[in-house]
Structure 1
Amino acid sequence: MEDDDPSHQAFATGTLDSALQKKHHDMLERLSARHQARKSDSPDSSSSSSSSTLESTSSFLARFADSKRSIESRIVESRLASSSADSSKLKSDLAEISLVIANLEKLLAENSYFLPSYEVRSSLKVVSDLKQSLDSLSSELVPKKKFSFKTKSSSTKPESKPPEIKKPDFVSLPKVPVRDSPGFRNKHKETLVKSFKGSSIGEFTLSDLDSCRVELTGTVNALFLHRLKSCNVYTGPVIGSILIDDVEDCVLVLASHQIRIHCAKKSDFYLRVRSRPIIEDSNGVRFAPYSLDYSGIEEDLKKAGLEEETKSWANVDDFLWLRAVQSPNWSVLPEEERLYPVSISGDDGDS
């Protein structure tokens, strides 16, 4: 009954990720590659923003390297101990290593939005190599169970057939966790105003808002939107990325180098973006050009490297639509239905 061993099941789950590595690699690389335009095209970006990004990258790489060395050591130790370890203990060790590799891959996914594209490629290669090493060790030390006939007994339940593992045709982007950063949370029918001018805030979060109007002016490094319903959101330029998860019946006026949208329904996006917007698990979403005005917005757009309109807002990538024709999940918002330029004050409110 080795197939019923929880450790074996955990390891089988880990090896499924290895089979999907290539597509996962392509998506994460595309998601992060856009972010690099900021460094070459934003000479007016503040030195504090640059140092903050470098510090985050350095911290991630140090943590990633430590985890890589630890996993490699555990693989070597398992190989050396295989001659004396029993089968159950060996499979348990391999399952634990598989889980650690999965956590390392999750760490990379969660931080890919600010990492240089070459660092993402290199890190993905490391994860792929670690999975391959573990798979090779598993094949060598835990051979497949030999076939044997079993006599069924009326007093016991028949042995259930292990479920067939089906490889999906597509791998979803990793969902973005809610950040513990400054922001507006758990508000209903309120007007929420925040200015980032003169602020040291690097990331800002909008979470669990219902029927709210949000006005953000100035620049911020990253913006996260989670669980918004029937909201109007107007933001100044974001130097890095905007990551959106679970919005419905919203109007969002946003500017950023890259924008990723997960699980959006019946919402309109007015965007200025340097790369193709990404949608996933979304439907009924419409896109139009950025239409926001406030005192100092031209200076903020220049600071963020977004002064030029690239018209990328109309070139949307639907990661769950693989056909050659355009996805039916999004459309261009007809001109006669678009908002006129929206003016906001930029006066700071409660945060």
Structure 2
Amino acid sequence: MNNQQALATTDDMSTDPTLDPTIQRKHAAMIERLSNLHQSRVSNKTDLKDSSFESTKSFLLQFTNSKQAIESSLTQIQQIPDADPTLDLKPEIEKISLSITELEKLIAESSYFLPPYEVRSSLKTISDLKQTLDSVASKVKPRKKFSFKNKPAKKTEPTNIITKESIENEPEQHSGYKVKDAPGFRSRENETLTKEFKGSEMGEFVLSDLTNCEVRLKGCLRTLFINRLQNCKVYVGPVLGSILIEEVEGCLFVVASHQIRIHHAKESDFYLRCRSRPIIEQSFGVRFAPYCLSYDGIESDLKVSNLDDDTGSWANVDDFQWLRAVQSPNWSILPESQRIDTLII
């Protein structure tokens, strides 16, 4: 029986003269409670729908404006005559590269409210912009081909297999993202680091330059940035937006988020719950398994974050360095016999 049927039935009962007055009063009170509950549900659904629509509308406007500005800058560079060999366009190329990186971060930080189609479409646009930038840079500076920060140099063999040696031989600075000036744990060794987020504390958080540490984060976060971790264990409650993980080695992560991107990871295990497919770049020896974290209140946190259902996306990893139809050799599913049990923190 739905709320309207219940209201109709209780209304008939409250006006029945054969009923006791006390029972009639109880039925009248029930009518009022059901009516208030129904109106509250309708109002909440409308508010959530309107809020999501307005957020998506705002994102698309900002994304389109930034995309057009980047395309305009690329066109201007292409129109510069080749006759002047002294003209240094490197600052302009780097400026465009930074703009593309900022636009990619905007997608990651907005993914928790965007429809899946908009996320995929926006990421495709980023990929196209990167390719165009590489093409333009190679033409204006043909003697030394520019390469976008997060894109590996082209090799003669089309294997796209990332090895330990190839990553270690790259320049030390891999990161395409600057570590944000946000609250977090930085530059720690051999420590257990804990924090619980409540209410207004929900926001961005950073884990950076940690060695042999165990990190326990309870509650909901908006965005999590992880950079330069070695031999660490990281246990995190639900993240409403995105998690960006860069330059980690020998680590174990148990995290839940709407979007998870992993760059330059070596020999690490990821226990995930996510709404979209996890993305890896320039990584090898990474293994994936389902989320297995527990603490008092986690079910409520997962529900608030819209992560209470396991969609199975953790097992559908996109390797941006592997474009062939066969399975990427850079990642694998962690065998059940080797998985850790449910963690209680």
Distance 1:63 1:319, change over 3 A: closer
Distance 1:45 1:224, change over 3 A: farther
- 2:199 matched residue in structure 1: 198
2:122 pairs, out of 111, 120, 135, with: 120
Task: Say if 1:44 and 1:302, in contact at 8 Å, map to a contact too.
Answer: no
Task: Say if 1:259 and 1:273, in contact at 8 Å, map to a contact too.
Answer: yes
- 2:312 matched residue in structure 1: 311
Distance 1:334 1:57, change over 3 A: same
Q: Does 1:180 align with 2:176?
A: no
Task: Say if 1:248 and 1:265, in contact at 8 Å, map to a contact too.
Answer: yes
Distance 1:328 1:297, change over 3 A: same
295-304 or 310-319: bigger deviation: 310-319
Q: How far is 1:265 from its partner?
A: 1.7
2:84 pairs, out of 85, 88, 93, with: 88
AA aligned to 1:268 is D
- Provide the rounded CA distance (Å) in 2 between the counterparts of 1:340 and 1:255: 16
User: Normalised by the size of structure 2, how large is the TM-score?
Assistant: 0.62
- Provide the rounded CA distance (Å) in 1 between the counterparts of 2:60 and 2:257: 23
Unaligned runs of at least 5 residues, structure 2? 1-43, 147-152, 163-173
Task: Say if 2:238 and 2:307, in contact at 8 Å, map to a contact too.
Answer: yes
Q: Does 1:106 align with 2:108?
A: no
AA aligned to 2:108 is Y
Deviation string 1:239-279 (CA, Å, 9 cap, x unpaired) is 11111111112111111111111122222111111122112
- 1:13 matched residue in structure 2: none
- 2:167 matched residue in structure 1: none
Task: Say if 2:109 and 2:223, in contact at 8 Å, map to a contact too.
Answer: no
SS in structure 2 at match of 1:320: coil
- 1:208 matched residue in structure 2: 209
SS in structure 2 at match of 1:340: coil
Distance 1:320 1:101, change over 3 A: closer
Q: Does 1:267 align with 2:268?
A: yes
User: Larger radius of gyration, structure 1 or 2?
Assistant: 2
Q: Percent identity?
A: 45
Deviation string 1:134-172 (CA, Å, 9 cap, x unpaired) is 89xx99xxxx9xxxxxxxxxxxxxxxxx568986678x9
With a CA cutoff of 8 Å and minimum separation of 6, indicate the structure with the bigger relative contact order. Answer: 1
Q: How far is 1:193 from its partner?
A: 0.7
Task: Say if 1:196 and 1:218, in contact at 8 Å, map to a contact too.
Answer: yes
Unaligned runs of at least 5 residues, structure 1? 1-41, 145-161, 345-351
- Provide the rounded CA distance (Å) in 2 between the counterparts of 1:44 and 1:292: 33
Q: How far is 1:113 from its partner?
A: 1.2
- Provide the rounded CA distance (Å) in 2 between the counterparts of 1:127 and 1:283: 26
Distance 1:70 1:312, change over 3 A: closer
SS in structure 1 at match of 2:109: coil
AA aligned to 1:110 is K
Distance 1:219 1:53, change over 3 A: farther
- Provide the rounded CA distance (Å) in 2 between the counterparts of 1:263 and 1:121: 19
AA aligned to 1:109 is E
Task: Say if 2:213 and 2:233, in contact at 8 Å, map to a contact too.
Answer: yes
Q: How do residues 43-62 of structure 1 correspond to structure 2 at under 5 angstroms?
A: 57=59
- 1:248 matched residue in structure 2: 249
- 1:155 matched residue in structure 2: none
Task: Say if 2:175 and 2:246, in contact at 8 Å, map to a contact too.
Answer: no
- What RMSD in Å do the two structures reach over aligned CA positions? 4.5
- Provide the rounded CA distance (Å) in 1 between the counterparts of 2:324 and 2:70: 37
- Provide the rounded CA distance (Å) in 2 between the counterparts of 1:72 and 1:325: 35
